[in-house]
């Protein structure tokens, strides 16, 4: 976890001050800010219709009211919703909207912002199942023609969706829920107006499945109608690009000056805007009157880019450091729920908000959460450990559990002792005859090899003796920290649904939204 996240959560002044909007000598925006409420809601309704997705009419009605505000959190689109952390973040968005509504008396609408403009397909095209006590990666294939397109614009074939579902089904445990979960995946990936859905559409359906009844609105940041409404902001980002870049530089230097690592490094001449040029999402760099690719090849003139912003803004998308200001223009955001990495780059942005005459929204770090399965809890309790012990001590507990630590440490101590003894007598041997040094080195190597062989045999013998216990340990770790990574970043809700059923998992997420989630 970056130090800035620890300090911000710990309410350290040097971290908190980075999120205080400074006064600005120059402002590049005048007049009304943001998208008109009715136009925004109409765009959201059109978006939901294209996904065959019912929206919360209560939330949409509240969003039309100029007195309401938004709590927003976002993520890249994930395959069938992505890893558990996406759903955990959505639950916290719902929770924070309820808290702010209750404490301020002003309605706060929960919104989940799917970053469909991202083009990193390899980061979102897979999910993990568990087969034969091992993680199994399941991938959704795309056409080779879709390389470097925004994820919103990639529509896998029906065969690709069916193959992906079949592969995931093969990882699911045999249970009373398995067949219904497979059918649920087919329902989530059902055709939209006789066409297969995009990955973004399926992700939106999954989020709605769990949180729609709790008022969550889901949107695609790269939706054409929504992007069209953002044309004035993209025009300003381009017309005043030098001022935008300068503000980002000031914010970035403030982070460095406070002693923190910079999350998003500065790139010389970067305009912090992408354009879909010849169907390839391209980050733009300023070169005089032209805008170019990173390698310096010209894409178009600045005048042509301004024409795109004014007449075809759906071809444009923000870079990470301009996404928050684009989000703020699209929605009346009072609070944003972020992960640790997001917080680190939000710290670079206070001067950019000031440049547009805005106060930064409140920034809240999403808590982490691990779902503890009953069997895992029982096994840990039988050993006399808590799940927190397993997180804190990991491999050391595994050794203690099987009694491996003492025996192996003794062998290790013998090896260190042998090396020390040989080192201690080298000078004496050299005084007698230098040729004895080679003999001693050979002798030392053979002794160490024999001790290493003993170490291997002891390890194997202990594993055989404690095979059942180790197998249980590995299953515990596979559940709560697969491959040494937090559960929420690997495991998928589909696996949990196959084990415990849709109703139980839905209730778990409702519970998360009803109280502050905490990492167990």
| The 3-state secondary structure of 214-237, one letter per residue | HCCEEEECCCHHHHHHCHHHHHHH
Whole-angstrom distance, CA of residue 157 vs CA of residue 139: 13
pLDDT-derived band at 16 (thresholds 50, 70, 90) equals very high
Give the mean pLDDT of 389-399. 72
Sheet bearing 270-277, strands edge to edge? 298-301, 290-292, 280-287, 270-277, 316-318
Say which range, 272-281, 379-388, 479-488, has the weakest mean pLDDT.
Answer: 379-388
Say if residues 370 and 519 touch (Cβ distance below 8 Å): yes
- The whole-angstrom separation of Cα 274 and Cα 260 is 27
d(CA 486, CA 145): 34
Mean pLDDT, residues 345-355 taken together: 96
| pLDDT at res. 260 | 96
Q: 404 falls in which pLDDT band (50, 70, 90)?
A: low
Q: For the chain, what is the mean pLDDT? A: 90
Task: Kindly state the average pLDDT of the residues 122-133.
Answer: 91
Maximum distance among all Cα pairs of the chain, rounded to whole angstroms = 96
What would the mean pLDDT of 284-307 be, rounded to a whole number?
A: 95
Give the model confidence (pLDDT) of 321-330 as tens digits. Answer: 999 999 999 9
Q: What is the pTM of this model?
A: 0.85
Helix%, strand%, coil% for the chain, nearest 5: 60, 15, 30
- pLDDT band of residue 257 (cuts 50, 70, 90) is very high
Q: Are 99 and 107 in contact (CB under 8 A)?
A: no
At 492 the three-state DSSP class reads strand
Residue 166, pLDDT above cutoff 70: yes
| DSSP label at residue 227 | H
Residue 490 DSSP one-character state: T
* 466 burial via Cβ count (<10 Å: 0-12, 13-18, 19+): middle
CA atoms within 13 A on the CB side of 428: 6
Q: Mean of the pLDDT values across residues 260-264?
A: 94
36 three-state secondary structure:
coil
Residue 403, pLDDT score = 61
Residue 408 confidence (pLDDT) above 90: no
CB–CB of 215/59 below 8 Å? yes
Q: In whole angstroms, what is the distance from residue 276 CA to residue 315 CA?
A: 5
- Find the range with the poorest average confidence among 55-59, 155-159, 307-311, 320-324: 55-59
pLDDT at 240: 95
Residue pLDDT, tens place only, 75-110: 999 999 999 999 999 999 999 999 999 999 999 999
The answer, yes or no, to whether residue 58 has pLDDT greater than 50, is: yes
């Amino acid at each position: 976890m970056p130090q800035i996240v620890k300090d911000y959560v710990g309410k350290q002044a040097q971290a908190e001050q980075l999120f205080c909007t400074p006064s600005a000598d120059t402002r590049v925006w005048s007049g009304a800010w943001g998208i008109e409420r009715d136009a925004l809601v109409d765009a959201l309704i059109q978006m939901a219709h294209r996904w065959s997705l019912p929206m919360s009419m209560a939330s949409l009605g509240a969003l039309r009211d100029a007195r309401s505000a938004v709590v927003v959190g976002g993520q890249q689109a994930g395959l069938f919703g992505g890893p558990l952390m996406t759903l955990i973040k959505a639950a916290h968005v719902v929770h924070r909207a309820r808290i702010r509504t209750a404490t301020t008396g002003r309605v706060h609408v929960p919104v989940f912002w799917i970053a469909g403009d991202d083009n990193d397909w390899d980061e979102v095209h897979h999910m993990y199942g568990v087969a034969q006590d091992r993680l199994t990666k399941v991938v959704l294939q795309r056409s080779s023609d879709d390389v470097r397109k925004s994820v919103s614009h990639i529509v896998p074939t029906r065969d690709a969706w069916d193959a992906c579902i079949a592969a995931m089904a093969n990882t699911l445990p045999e249970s009373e829920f398995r067949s219904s979960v497979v059918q649920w995946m087919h329902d989530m990936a059902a055709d939209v107006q006789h066409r297969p859905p995009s990955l973004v559409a399926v992700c939106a359906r999954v989020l709605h499945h769990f949180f729609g009844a709790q008022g969550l609105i889901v949107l695609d940041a790269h939706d054409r109608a929504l992007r069209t409404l953002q044309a004035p902001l993209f025009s300003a980002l381009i017309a005043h690009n030098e001022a935008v870049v300068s503000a980002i530089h000031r914010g970035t230097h403030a982070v460095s000056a406070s002693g923190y690592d910079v999350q998003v490094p500065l790139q010389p001449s970067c305009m912090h805007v992408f354009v879909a040029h010849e169907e390839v999402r391209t980050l733009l760099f300023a070169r005089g009157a032209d805008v170019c690719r990173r390698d310096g090849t010209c894409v178009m003139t600045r005048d042509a880019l301004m024409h795109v912003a004014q007449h075809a803004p759906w071809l444009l998308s923000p870079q990470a450091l301009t996404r928050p200001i684009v989000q703020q223009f699209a929605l009346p955001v009072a609070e944003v729920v972020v992960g640790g990495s997001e917080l680190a780059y939000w710290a670079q942005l206070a001067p950019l908000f000031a440049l547009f005459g805005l106060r930064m929204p409140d920034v809240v770090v999403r808590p982490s959460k691990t779902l503890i399965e009953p069997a895992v809890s029982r096994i840990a309790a039988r050993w006399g450990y808590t799940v927190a012990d397993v997180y804190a001590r990991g491999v050391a507990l595994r050794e203690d559990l099987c009694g491996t630590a003492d025996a192996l440490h003794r062998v290790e101590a013998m090896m260190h002792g042998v090396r020390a003894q040989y080192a201690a007598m080298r000078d004496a041997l050299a005084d007698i005859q230098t040729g004895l040094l080679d003999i001693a080195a050979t002798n030392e190597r053979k002794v160490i090899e024999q001790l290493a062989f003993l170490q291997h045999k002891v390890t194997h013998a202990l594993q055989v003796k404690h095979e059942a216990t180790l197998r249980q340990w590995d299953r515990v770790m596979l559940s709560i920290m697969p491959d040494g990574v937090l559960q929420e970043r690997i495991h998928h809700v589909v696996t949990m649904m196959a084990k415990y059923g849709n109703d139980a998992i839905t209730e778990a997420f409702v519970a998360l939204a009803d109280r502050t989630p905490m990492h167990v």
